[in-house]
Structure 1
Amino acid sequence: MTRARGSSRTVRVALLCDVDQTVYHVGDEAIGLAGADRLRRRGLDVVMVSRQEKYGPDGAPPARCIPALTFPWPERDRERYLDEICRVLAGESGALPPEDKLFGIIERYRDVDALVIGGGGALNSRYGWLLAERAATAMVAASQGARVVLSGQSIGPDLSVTDAEALGELLDLCSLVGLRDAGSLARARAIRPDHPALVETVDDAVGLPLSWAEPLEDRVSVTLGSDPWPFPVEDYVQVMAAALDGLADRTGAEVEFVPHMADPDTGGSDVSLHERVAAAMGTPSTLAPLERADRAAARQARSRWIVSTRFHPVVFGTLAASSVLAVPLDRYGASRLDGALRHAGMTHASVPFAALWDPATGGATAVLDAALDALVAARPAEHARLTARRDELLACSERWWDAVAAAVTGEEAPDPDPGAAALGADARFDAPLRALLAPFSPQEQAGRHDEPTVAVVMRTKDRPVMLDRAVRDVLSQTRADWQLVIVDDAGDAEAVDAVVARYAHESFGRIGVLHRAESTGMEAASNAGITATASELLCIHDDDDTWHPTFLQRTVEHLRRHPEESAVVVRTEIVHEHQEGTTLVEDERFLSWPRLHAMRLADFMTVNRTTPIAVVHRRRVHDELGLFREDLPAVGDYEFHLRLLQHGAVGFLDLPLARWHLRPSAAGADSNSMFAMDDAHHDVDLTLADAYFREWVGEHGIGLPMFISRTVGEQVDRATEGLARTHDELLARLDAVSGQLAEVGARLAALEDESRHHGARLEERSAVQLARRGARSARSALYRAAGALRRT
């Protein structure tokens, strides 16, 4: 047994994994089982960190455990709680009420020699509360003198600037860090380039004490995550049902659904989704119950075929030498599934759901048949290759846990390399199938970016936090055949280059930067980006706006089906937000022009009804209409939209796929041009209208306009008198309600202070904070309404 230095006690290791949750997660529990087994085999005393909610199918509470910290989900609330924990650990005990669970947890870590944070995919902004929990737990353990190790982690790919800072602090506390895919290793090195012990290793669940060499049965084992975002659930069900029918038809294998995530008492999650897919299939299938992690892993390790959108069935299947159809749904899934397949010796090996999905019909594309044919044809060769690979993966896992054991005991750590990074890998699919997958596979875009389908022009100036979000937004698109050119409009060039460098490992050459020495306006910046690219389609993506992940896939498909249209516009959501430090906080969102259902020139005669973020147009339009007008200091996009609508048909997708972010209270570089240049917008808008009017009058004379103006003018004068009275009444009411809201906000602030000092639970305080935000948001809305009335 390994002893603590200067003590007869065995070295005690706290193992933090996401175990004992209300919703049982086979992968998380498998990580916990494997990690505890590997540490105990090396003579260490392991105590699990438990959520203490439920204990899985037929499970029971552990004999001993340490409670897990629990963070709120809202971004600002979890950041606030993390700050409060830091203040307590720095000696400010009053930063949290004495009843907060943190204080009891600190006491439990006084008897712990080390903390091992087990593997998983929680170190990202998608699950930011889990990242904060791990950072805070590491801080607590380190404050009590315990060593900290991260094992088998996936990092990102979506990491906000604020969360990247928290992750950096976590990495600083770790003497050894294991990353389970090359992308995660690259992200960690980008955040902490000088960290001495960042290692690529295999997933922790490889260490499950199971036999991976059992004879395989003629069965298709299916695990589908219950959340198909960003795709419609109905389409997800139909496409996956078609995939399973197709594989069963080709192989004659039985189909069995194996859930990995569900409430052990009430079901839901994977269980419910599996029932829907099974009902949509033509092939008979069986629905396995939710089982404990080791049983579920053993069930899948005996199946000849694996189909999964989740991570751990891919790990179990490749270890068992099964043929695995891995179907990532988004950038997060692709990062993890491609990492597991690479460790199994295969690159270019997953089949993105986007490649199988036809957004126009909601059904499957022809790529599905090609992928299934390739999977079945490669079965004999892949089985032999995976069988030979198994011993290397298991040996890699053992070397890693030897290094972990040395790190937690303070001994000289053996070198875990050659680890997973040294294992070779080859392309899985042949050239024809890879060509079909290429529009949806970032790694297939390497070397193809000279003539992409879409060129994305991103204008930016001195807004690195927003630019970082915007770059992540483009990287998250389900369609990958784009080129992004960032036009730095005479801003901080180093800050722009730093953002681009953070994502170089996953951009595969698709991101370029134009640094302009002098700013000559937004329109000139757009034109610089357009002329620097070569593509079939174009769009303007400002650094503060965002898209739904399927924006490019849906718009490109629409224009392919409608060659007569010169552009397509999507429905837009307006997002009101404000920036606090490096965090962008959403206040509210609502549809822009909800009654708009088509792009008609008549609707644009009085006001611009769309924004650049919502538009994709054909490059050939500029050959006929020219570029954006650089002589206009504002409303250049409106002028271009008017020309576009006069030129020909423009399509409309009635789906909220674009988000126009506004910050009404911001100033300086963080503001929107429509607020910062309000007077210029108004003046240029009138100048533009006057130019069009003079052009018409020059051809037709002033008779008709004069008649219309006098007739309408008399009616307007009468209506204005009534509107003025209503206007004054509304302003008085708005002022009264605004005062009442200010009073409510003050009372809520006092209630929050009182709750903090009297030990209210975290969730109760969060409810008060949420109410305060609602009051602030409502008050801001009233201010905007009052401002609009006054301008009117």
Structure 2
Amino acid sequence: MRAALLCDVDQTVYHVGDEAIADASAAMLRERGHEVVMLSRHEKYGPGGEPPALSIPALTFPWSVTERVRYLEEIRAVLQGDAGALPAHDKLFGIIDALRTVDALVIGGGGSLNSRYGWLLSERVATALVAAHLGKPVVLTGQSLGPELSAADAALVGEMLDVCVLAGLRDPDSLSLARSIRPDHPRLHACADDATALDLAGLSGQPGASADEEAEADAEAGPVISVTIGSDPSPLPPEAYAPLLAEVIDAVAERTGGRVEFVPHMADPDAGGGDERVHAEVAALLQHPSSQAPLELAAEAALRTARADYVITTRFHPVVFGASSGASVLALPLNRYGISRMRGALSNAGWSDAVVPLAALWRPGSGTQETEDASSESSIDRFLLALVVDELVGSRESEKHHLGRSASVLEARARSWWDAVTAALGGRLADCDAAVESAQERARALTRMPRFSPDLRRSLAQWTRDAGGQEAAPHAAPTFSVITRTKDRALMLDRAVQDLLAQSRADWEMIIVNDGGEPAAVDAVVDRWAHEAAGRIRVLHSVSSSGMEAASNRGLAEARAALVSVHDDDDTWSATFLQETAAHLAAHPEQLAVTVRTEIIHEHLEGEHFVEDSRELNQPQLRSIQLSDFMALNRMAPISLLYRRAVHERLGGYDESLPVVGDWAFHLLLLQETNVGLLDRPLAQWRLRPAQDGPGGNSMFMKRAEHRHFDGVLRERYFQEWVSRNGIGLPLHLAREQRDLEERLGARIAGLEERIAQLTAALENREGPPRASTADTLAALPARTRSLAGRAARKVWRAARRD
């Protein structure tokens, strides 16, 4: 059989993990008698690499959501018979012709079925649709699904699963999500990462290889600590990333006496950068000596990692290579995506908990305006680091023994899985099911055990649900209660739920108050993420709408945590919002609340996709939070604030008599009671859709008149309260002063208007060449004048937006 194999290979930036998946998958297919035709990007082939002997150009999609949606629709149109939907030179037509010459399509493993890399998801979907259109069987293998997956992209995944005769997911979160999308699919199964099948033992024993000599040299030099660090520090601040990792590496090197070797897994083979760049930055901060290996082809890099005694990594595939070869792996995922995949890889190796999110080791500084360099106060949790290193080193021999037993099971499981793939491609579904069952039996035979001690698991419980936290004790009191008000906005609610799941802190509860909306749509969103949420989300349905403030109060009545935030369904946070705001309040017990720098993001919906139009900082001029600044308008969106729930014992709940501006009313009360801290980091996103009507709109635009009215109602309440205590003398005097000022300004404006009219008339009567256009006139103005004019225009726009 001639099988086309789609993996993310031959790109400008060489990715060891993706290439290792392709190498191992191709080897498994060839071993079973298939001829492999690689779908290749044909950009670069790694350091010293060569193009595949048999290949088809891979589809390439644009990164823009709008453009990739359009291109996929054009491909659908072509497959439905409209050849004119794309220009004749589009590569799709050549790919269709090339796929006619193969018997089947295998979509190889990787972490590309998510919205983070939406263009790669679209490429896989489109290629699967082409193969299915041509009558070719399609198998999906070794994939991670999500965890970042919009509702629109989930629909695409479902469409692809529909054409797959067999689909293998490499981690429990992915399998659960796939089954929630297509619960009736007959062949959705768990499998290991495809790179597990890479024959590292065979590679090390190849003629001419110096593995034995290197191993002997390593043994004499002491333990080898292999380090692979991704170049993207997000969500941590870039300035904290390298120093934090340097301390971790130094701690392991100090404890073990090991030799540190940096092994890049992603970089441009010609221009460098990527892992190589960040490795140099971290190495420069180390107290212990280190060496930096060059970027190598996948097999060589995998073998180098597999030879190590310890592996420290923020990347996924070093976890796979290290665990399958018996190394003690310190997996330091950066985000929800990394946690999900690394948990899965180490689970496949026999650990029921095994990751240490890097954010757990980071202790943020105050980040206030008073601190010129917020990163100067950033530090590492040395107590937790000591616990981690103690167990990593102290358990070395037992881990090596455990992983040694797991390796043979993993190898046999991988072979059974590829037997199932071969049977599925040939239409022998009974044989496929038997091979899958054999693979599952081998997986069940693997002894899984907690990797960490109870003490360390308790210390990590705030950071990951697989360390004795919410999953182990779903009824334990959380640290944060997050209240989300929603009504008939399932797309936005889905994004908000994922926003909570992406937080670096895991010790939260989300209380969704469905304010009279359709219950089934809300429940469907929560059910989709129930596996990952692990009991941390509760829904309160209301039969009819009672308003935003009543919804907030209902959520508060159910809240169990000491810290509270109102997270509306259409807004979002950066992943360290809860971590950094909680750290600030812990450092400032005298404050009852803290707010953060907030970005205003203008967006719109195209179909079921959110498209960002622009972003700007909200209230960038503020250097602190003062009550006086809130007299004119509300300067905080609810999404920007974390506060102590105890404040409601003094202030009461949200004012339900105010259908709008209730958040401002609460902020005014709060600022009369306490100082509110300002964390000078843009950690919240207030999302606005000025042109959106219906349920997807913002109340500040759709209910402008109500905002103006209740703004006046709230002011009148405070004014009458003041007058009842102090009389009307001062306000009466101020009103006269205001009237006089208005009259003087009116007269001044009238004079200016008259002067402008005179000048306009004079210009119209003037003989000479044609007058320049307004645009030309502005362009001719001095830069300072243009700047002042622009600032004035922006002030007018902001004032109009507030009104």
After TM superposition, the score normalised by the length of structure 1 is 0.90
Given candidates 444, 462, 486, the residue that maps to 1:439 is 462
**Are the equivalent residues in 1 in contact too, given 2:470–2:507 (CA < 8 A)?**
yes
Asked if 1:530 corresponds to 2:547, the answer is no
Between the aligned partners of 1:726 and 1:191, the Cα distance in structure 2 is 66
8 Å contact from structure 1 (residues 154, 336) kept in 2: yes
Q: Report the residue type matching 2:193 in the other structure.
A: D
> Counterpart of 1:760?
none
Structure 2 residue 15 is matched with structure 1 residue 25:
yes
Select which of 267, 271, 275 maps to 1:270.
275
Match of 2:647 in 1: 621
Within-5 A mapping of 1:274-293 = 274-293=279-298
Q: Does 1:419 align with 2:439?
A: yes
- How far does residue 533 in structure 1 lie from its aligned partner after superposition? 1.4
* Matched residue, 2:727: 701
Query: How far apart are the structure 2 equivalents of 1:159 and 1:693?
Result: 49
Q: Which of residues 139, 151, 155 is equivalent to 1:149?
A: 139
Cα distance in structure 2, aligned partners of 1:720 and 1:546: 44
1:440 is paired with a residue of what secondary structure?
Answer: coil
2:164 paired residue number? 174
Determine the structure 2 residue equivalent to 1:367: 384
Q: Give the deviation of 1:556 after TM superposition.
A: 0.6
Query: Secondary structure of the residue that 1:633 maps to in structure 2?
Result: coil
Distance of aligned partners of 1:723 and 1:250 in 2 relative to their CA distance in 1, 3 Å threshold: farther
Going from structure 1 to structure 2, the CA distance change for 1:438 and 1:790 (only over 3 Å counts) comes to closer
The structural deviation recorded for 1:723 is 5.8
Match of 1:328 among 329, 333, 336: 333
- Contact 1:396/1:416, CA 8 A, preserved across alignment: no
SS at the partner of 1:266?
coil
Q: Aligned-pair distance for 1:386? A: 0.6
Tell me whether 1:295 sits opposite 2:300 in the alignment. yes
Contact kept in structure 1, 2:639 and 2:684, CA below 8 Å = yes
Is it true that 1:483 corresponds to 2:501 in the alignment?
Answer: no
Does residue 257 in structure 1 map to residue 262 in structure 2?
A: yes
User: What's the offset of the Cα at 1:442?
Assistant: 2.5
**Correspondence for 1:339:** 344
Give 1:349-360 correspondences, 5 Å limit.
349-360=354-365
* Whole-angstrom distance in 1 between the partners of 2:451 and 2:80: 52
Q: Does 1:317 pair with 2:322?
A: yes
> How many Å apart are 1:699 and its aligned residue?
1.5
More displaced 10-residue stretch of structure 1: 214-223 or 452-461: 214-223
Of the three residues 433, 452, 474, the one matched with 1:429 is 452
Residues 286-337 of structure 1, C-alpha deviations (whole Å, 9 max, x = no match): 0000000000111111110100111111111111111000001000000000
Structure 1 counterpart of 2:151, from 131, 150, 161: 161
Deviation of 1:62 (Å): 2.4
Q: 1:104 to 1:357 in 2, by over 3 A?
A: same
**SS of residue matched to 2:59:** coil
Contact kept in structure 2, 1:449 and 1:482, CA below 8 Å: no
Q: What is the CA distance between 1:712 and its match in structure 2?
A: 3.2
Aligned to 2:578: 552
Question: What residue in structure 1 maps to residue 183 of structure 2?
Answer: 193
Note the C-alpha offset of 1:715: 2.1
8 Å Cα contact 1:575/1:660 also seen in 2: yes
- For the residues of structure 2 that align with 1:638 and 1:503, how far apart are their CA atoms? 32
3-state DSSP of counterpart to 1:478? coil
Q: 1:30: Cα distance to partner?
A: 0.3
1:431-477 superposed Cα distances (whole Å, 9 cap, x missing partner): 11111111111232122444111100000000000110111011101
Contact 2:515–2:551 (8 Å) recurs in 1: yes
Deviates more, 1:55-64 or 1:485-494: 55-64
> Residue 64 of structure 1: CA displacement?
2.6
Following superposition, the deviation at residue 719 of structure 1 comes to: 2.6
Whether the 8 Å CA contact 1:153–1:178 is kept in 2: the answer is yes
The CA deviation at 1:15 is 0.6
Which residue identity does 1:70 align to in structure 2? T
Task: Say which SS state the counterpart of residue 445 (structure 1) adopts.
Answer: coil
Name the SS for the 2:435 alignment partner. Answer: coil
Greater Cα offset, 717-726 or 681-690: 717-726
In structure 1, the residue matched to 2:614 is: 588
Q: Aligned with 1:417: secondary structure?
A: helix
- Give the whole-Å Cα distance in 2 for the aligned partners of 1:727 and 1:484: 57
In the other structure, the counterpart of 1:397 is 414
The alignment partner of 1:416 has SS state of helix
Task: List aligned pairs for 1:91-110, cutoff 5 A.
Answer: 91-110=81-100
2: CA distance, partners of 1:169 / 1:720:
65
Q: Which residue of 1 aligns with 2:374?
A: none
Task: Report percent identity of matched pairs.
Answer: 53
Indicate the larger mover: 222-231 or 442-451. Answer: 442-451
Amino acid at match of 1:415: A
Shift in Å at residue 786 of structure 1? 6.8
Cα 1:721–1:37 shift into 2, 3 Å: farther
What amino acid is the match of 1:560? A
CA 1:724–1:690: 2 relative to 1, 3 Å:
farther
Moved more, 579-588 or 96-105: 579-588
If the length of structure 2 is used for normalisation, what is the TM-score?
0.89
Quote how far apart the aligned CAs of 1:209 are: 2.2
Question: Following TM superposition, by how much is the alpha carbon of 1:656 offset from its aligned partner in structure 2, in angstroms?
Answer: 1.1
Write the distance in 2 (CA, Å) between the matches of 1:194 and 1:18. 29
Partner of residue 652 from structure 1, selected from 678, 701, 704:
678
Which residue of structure 1 aligns with residue 426 of structure 2? 409
CA deviation after TM superposition for structure 1 residue 788, in Å: 5.7
| CA gap 1:136/1:630 in 2 versus in 1, 3 angstroms | same
Secondary structure, in 3 states, of the residue corresponding to 2:506?
coil
Question: 1:145: how far off?
Answer: 1.6
Asked whether the equivalents of residues 72 and 126 of structure 2 are also in contact (C-alpha less than 8 Å), the reply is yes
Does residue 1:663 correspond to 2:689, yes or no?
A: yes
Shift of 1:724: 7.8
- CA deviations 1:664-719 (Å, max 9, x no partner) are 11112111111222111111111111111111122222222222222233223333
Paired residue type of 2:734: I
* Inter-partner Cα distance in structure 1 for 2:628 and 2:691: 32
SS in 1 for 2:3: strand
Could you tell me whether the CA contact under 8 Å between 1:449 and 1:481 is conserved in 2? no
- Output the CA distance in 2 between the equivalents of 1:450 and 1:661: 33
Aligned residues: CA RMSD = 2.2
Q: Give 1:784 shift.
A: 12
- Cα offsets for 1:720-763 (capped at 9, x unmatched): 4556899999xx9xxxxx999xxxxxxxxxxxxxxxxxxxxxxx
Displacement of 1:426 after TM fit? 1.4
- Uncovered stretches (5+) of structure 1, i.e. residues with no partner: 1-10, 733-737, 741-780
Amino acid in the other structure paired with 2:507: D
Alpha-carbon distance in structure 1 between the residues aligned to 2:753 and 2:399: 74
SS of corresponding position for 1:211: helix
Contact 1:727 1:789 in 2 (8 A): no
Matched, 1:203 2:193: yes
Q: Is the 8 A contact 2:474 2:534 kept in 1?
A: no
- Residue 510 of structure 2 aligns to a residue in which SS? strand
SS at match of 1:129: helix
Structure 1 residues 369 and 727, CA gap change in structure 2 (3 angstroms): farther
The Cα of 1:395 is off from its aligned counterpart by 0.2
Separation in structure 1 between the aligned mates of residue 587 and residue 753 of structure 2, nearest angstrom: 48
1:646 Cα deviation after fit: 0.3
Distance 1:713 1:130 in 2: 63
- Closer/same/farther in 2, CA of residues 720 and 64 from structure 1, 3 Å limit: farther
Q: Residues 449, 476 of structure 1: CA spacing in aligned structure 2 closer, same or farther, 3 A cutoff?
A: farther
Q: Deviations over 1:347-397 (max 9, x none)?
A: 221000111001113221121111111111111111111111111000000
Residue number in structure 1 paired with 2:107: 117
Q: Do 1:142 and 1:148's aligned partners in 2 also have CA atoms closer than 8 Å?
A: yes
Cα deviation for residue 280 of structure 1 reads 0.8
